[in-house]
Amino acid sequence: MRMLFSIGAVLVAGVLAGGDVAGIAAPGPRFEPSPKSEPHKNQPQRLAADKDAQTVDVELILAVDVSYSMDMDELAVQREGYAQAIQSKEFLQALKLGPNGRIAVTYFEWAASSDQKIIIPWRLVDGPETADAVAAEIMKTPIRRASRTSISGAITFAMPLFDEDPYRGLRRVIDISGDGPNNNGGPVTVARDAALEKGIVINGLPIMVKEPSYSTMDIDNLDFYYEDCVIGGPGSFVITIKDRDKFKEAIRTKLLMEVAGRTPERPVMRVSDKEPRVNCMIGEKIWSDRWGR
């Protein structure tokens, strides 16, 4: 079941509360490093220890929209939000609640279907020191913007990154933030379904801090679009940002939920899972109507 809720519905205390962890997807088949060729009588024990050292609670891909519909202030706040969230006391507490107490994270920015840039390659986060290093790396990279919005391109780019990760996660999650619908590349639902077939969970952070504008191709009910067309997998969820002042809080809450493996308590009531509330090709339609291509 997929779920949708606003930032006001989530409390950090709830994320960090005890109890069974909900919404954890079973890990898919993963690449394991080959054993060293040098024989040794203690090799099985060493290999087991190496395997344990490579295991993390979640492999988390942060896929961040940098399309022109995002203004420079929003991009700066977005960057700061991720950096501060990873360094926060709440995040580090949630990290330690996992069975391994560590995660692997990579951070890339995206726009058009052919425009993705990795800002942070895979990094292990297991405490304040490694969290600070990732946050510093995020903040030192110059902010950029680019044309078009291809959520499908971001998902397609993200999927093979899991194969490059040296760590093995109990869960694999793509975390997508954006302020508009897909309008470039393949259909978003096709990319989403391909990820779900691989056992990957997709969560969303629709950014709705501005009124819909003709010039930026914004749409009403972007949260419904993300719910119906973008996210998926066991325990997947959407956190909506409708207030600029809540931007950083929303990012922190989303990361806490993902690290702790939590899901919202209240599901969205829908007429039918077979009847999406929005047209998943709405972004492509708007683009075609305006520019004829």
Cβ(235)–Cβ(261) below 8 Å = yes
pLDDT above 90: residue 169: yes
Instruction: Write out the DSSP string of 252-269.
Output: HHHHHHHHHT---SSPPP
Q: Residues with Cβ < 8 Å from 288, sequence gap 6 or more? A: none
- Where helices occur in the chain by DSSP H, the ranges are 12-15, 43-54, 72-87, 89-97, 128-140, 151-158, 161-164, 188-197, 222-225, 247-260, 282-291
How far apart are the two ends of the chain, measured CA to CA in Å? Answer: 36
pLDDT tens digits, 128-140: 999 999 999 999 9
- Which of 152 and 11 is assigned the larger pLDDT? 152
User: What pLDDT shows up at residue 156?
Assistant: 98
pLDDT above 80: residue 109: yes
pLDDT band, very low/low/confident/very high, at 290 (cuts 50, 70, 90): confident
User: What pLDDT shows up at residue 217?
Assistant: 67
What's the whole-model pTM score? 0.81
pLDDT band, very low/low/confident/very high, at 173 (cuts 50, 70, 90): very high
Average pLDDT, the chain: 81
pLDDT above 90: residue 264: no
pLDDT above 50: residue 270: no
User: What pLDDT shows up at residue 265?
Assistant: 63
User: What pLDDT shows up at residue 263?
Assistant: 73
- Which of 11 and 148 is assigned the larger pLDDT? 148
User: What pLDDT shows up at residue 8?
Assistant: 40
User: What pLDDT shows up at residue 20?
Assistant: 35
- Which of 286 and 235 is assigned the larger pLDDT? 235
User: What pLDDT shows up at residue 73?
Assistant: 84
* Percentage of the chain modeled with pLDDT above 70: 74
pLDDT tens digits, 181-230: 999 999 999 999 999 999 999 999 999 887 665 555 677 789 999 999 99
Within the chain, how many helices (H) and strands (E) appear?
11, 9
User: What pLDDT shows up at residue 170?
Assistant: 95
SS3 126: coil
Alpha carbons within 13 angstroms on the beta-carbon side of residue 24 total 16
φ, ψ at 235 (rounded to 5°): 75, 10
pLDDT band, very low/low/confident/very high, at 82 (cuts 50, 70, 90): very high
User: What pLDDT shows up at residue 273?
Assistant: 54
pLDDT tens digits, 18-39: 443 333 333 333 333 333 334 4
